[in-house]
Amino acid sequence: MGLLDGRVAIITGASKGIGRVMSQLFAGEGAKVVCAARSEALVHDTVKLITDAGGDAVAVVRDAGVEEGARAIAEAGVRAFGHIDTLVNNAGDGGPTKPIEDYTVDDWFYTVNSCLTSAYLCSRFAVPSMIAAGRGAIVNIASMAGRRGLAYRVGYCSAKAGQIGMTYGLALELGRHNITVNAIAPGAVAGDRIDRVIKAQAEVRGVDVARMRENFVERAPLRRMSTAEDIASLAAFLCSDHARNISGQCIPVTAGEPAS
């Protein structure tokens, strides 16, 4: 028996990184997975990894940050598997790293739309199927940047803080429908994305990239970064019956670094 047997899960941003690992893990735990992303080739690669391993998944090539895209993602899940009871809002671009005086309106709206509007829209269109199913779980992949900030990334910090606030509000609203809503706030997660963040932070601060990487690791008591598997495993737990009484929480995954 898998942790998520019988679940139908939408995972956005499923083309790579945490989203791809999460899609594979959810399928391995018995969920039928709707893998949604903008990159057609990469998201189909994710689905192939799942089906080759004996799992059940479909790809939806849509932008979760626009209304018609989010609606199409939810409709594809219902069409493929009959209903939706699980949603992981993982999609989101970190946006640029630059001082506030250089951070344009286009930068702002692109980043907030990618990270926050996508989570709102996907929740909006997935919730009716959850209500009809009599159960549901939503997990928002936020960030520690939304709790304590990160210099030169005002749009990203704001969007992730918004995701956390949305988590609290939706948990209160949807509890009567037996729907849990939680957020995960990762710190540094090993992979290409944190490599880009570290490089950009080093450049804007005028410091050595190696030293900046050390700073990211040294502030964690466990002296390591988290992995995509760490985030995916927690998400799977939060979407399972084991977490049926956990809702309205933002859980840090930081290798021990204080949340604030």
- Identify the CATH number of the domain in which residue 159 sits: 3.40.50.720
The three-state secondary structure class of 221 is coil
Residues 208 and 148 in one domain: no
Q: How confident is the model at residue 68 (pLDDT cuts 50, 70, 90)?
A: very high
From the list 107, 117, 122, the residue with the least C-alpha distance to 76 is 122
Which one of 103, 120, 152, 156 is the catalytic residue?
156
Residue 260: what pLDDT? Answer: 67
Whether residue 110 sits in one domain with residue 237: yes
Q: Which domain holds residue 75?
A: 8-187+227-250
What's the pTM?
A: 0.96
233 in the same domain as 112? yes
Alpha carbon distance 212, 152 (integer Å): 14
β-strand pairing of 136-141 with 8-12: unpaired
Residue bearing tokens 């898998």: 2
Question: Considering the domain boundaries, does residue 81 fall inside one?
Answer: yes
Same domain, 49 and 95: yes
User: For residue 182, which phi and psi values (nearest 5 degrees)?
Assistant: -140, 165
In a domain, residue 235? The reply is: yes
The residue among 219 and 163 whose pLDDT is bigger is 163
One domain, residues 157 and 218: no
Claim to verify: residue 86 and residue 200 sit in the same structural domain: no
Dihedrals phi, psi of 11, to nearest 5 degrees: -125, 115
Q: Is residue 197 left, alpha or beta, with left meaning phi > 0 and alpha meaning psi from -120 to 50?
A: alpha
Q: 199 and 140 share a domain? A: no
**Residue 124 and residue 161 share a domain:** yes
Residue 55 has pLDDT above 80, yes or no: yes
Q: 137 and 34, same structural domain?
A: yes
Q: Among positive and negative, which fits the CA dihedral 152, 167, 83, 122?
A: negative
Is 156 labeled as catalytic in the residue annotation? yes
Neighbour count for residue 218 (Cβ, 10 Å): 10
